């Protein structure tokens, strides 16, 4: 009888050890428990994850920002809903950038409010970015990543090249054991035809708002020494409306860019 009780006890102890062991292995694999390392090794691990984590944030942000940058041109530089009078085409709106009175609604490129860059950020799909980052779950087996604040994105368009600089202000704490480091900011660049298309749109809208006319031949002559001059096409829809479609000639690592708007005659 005692032997049987002893065997049962041994089986119970063995089962407990197996369950606890399996739980530890599972926790380590899932990142809930990390294998202990020295403070020096922990600091090396933490420092080594700064760039990969920054890269993930940049990669997850780049796609939605690029998509918003492309789509904004189809609505004359505005996000939806367009804040000026516009013609609806399904989900898109063609804004009147110039009114009969001569008022010119074209936005400047850079700045925090009432600019093309601000409109792009309004249209950027933040949900897609957050889902892509996924709480940094891909790093939890190695380090802990803690958000210290909300994500804030800014962007700046170069005035002399197609380069766009995007800055992601996203304070993060990376830690393992007692080792910690902070990330405040990530930055990446991409090329866009928006600057060239917008520059052509400024010429068109300024001409239409002052002289109520835009001469394409004069435009071409003025830009004869420039390469890849955007093509400007004007279509008279009715006596009171002229639609403009500006299409860039893409440079290397750049897609064609279209900038559309209407002018009230």
pLDDT tens digits for 86-97? 999 888 999 999
Host domain of residue 222: 43-264
Nearest CA to 42 out of 174, 137, 148, 135 is that of 174
Residue 224 near residue 208 (C-beta atoms within 8 A): no
- How do residues 226-244 score in pLDDT, each as one tens digit? 778 999 999 999 999 999 9
Residue 174 near residue 180 (C-beta atoms within 8 A): yes
**DSSP letter, residue 10:** H
pTM score, two decimals?
0.83
At residue 20, the pLDDT reads: 46
Q: Is residue 125 one of the residues assigned to a domain? A: yes
Q: How many domains does the chain have?
A: 1
Q: Is residue 14 one of the residues assigned to a domain? A: no
Average pLDDT over residues 210-221: 91
Q: Is residue 214 one of the residues assigned to a domain? A: yes
Q: Which residue spans within 177-250 are E strands per DSSP?
A: 179-191, 231-238, 241-247
Q: Is residue 1 one of the residues assigned to a domain? A: no
At residue 93, the pLDDT reads: 95
- How do residues 3-44 score in pLDDT, each as one tens digit? 555 555 655 555 555 544 544 444 445 444 566 778 889 899
């Amino acid at each position: 009888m005692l032997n049987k009780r002893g065997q049962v006890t041994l089986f119970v102890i063995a089962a407990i050890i197996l369950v606890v062991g399996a739980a530890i292995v599972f926790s380590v694999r899932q990142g809930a428990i990390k294998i202990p390392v020295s403070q020096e090794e922990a600091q090396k691990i933490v420092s080594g994850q700064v760039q990969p984590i920054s890269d993930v944030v940049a990669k997850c942000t780049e796609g939605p920002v690029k998509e918003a940058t492309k789509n904004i041109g189809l609505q004359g530089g505005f996000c939806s809903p367009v804040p000026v009078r516009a013609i609806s085409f399904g989900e898109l709106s063609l804004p009147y950038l110039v009114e009969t009175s001569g008022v010119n609604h074209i936005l400047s490129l850079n700045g925090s409010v009432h600019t093309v860059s601000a409109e792009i950020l309004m249209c950027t799909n933040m949900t897609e970015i957050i889902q892509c980052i996924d709480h940094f779950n891909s790093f939890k087996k190695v380090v802990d990543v803690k958000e210290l604040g909300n994500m804030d994105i800014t962007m700046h368009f170069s005035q002399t090249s197609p380069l766009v600089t995007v800055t992601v202000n996203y304070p993060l704490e990376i830690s393992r054991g007692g080792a910690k480091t902070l990330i405040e900011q990530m930055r990446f660049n991409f090329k866009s035809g928006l600057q060239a298309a917008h520059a052509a749109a400024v010429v068109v809208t300024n001409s239409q708002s002052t002289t109520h006319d835009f001469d394409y031949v004069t435009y071409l002559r003025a830009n004869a020494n420039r390469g890849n001059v955007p093509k400007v096409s004007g279509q008279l829809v009715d006596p009171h409306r002229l639609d403009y479609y500006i299409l860039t000639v893409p440079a290397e690592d750049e897609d064609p860019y279209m900038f559309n708007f209407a002018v009230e005659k």
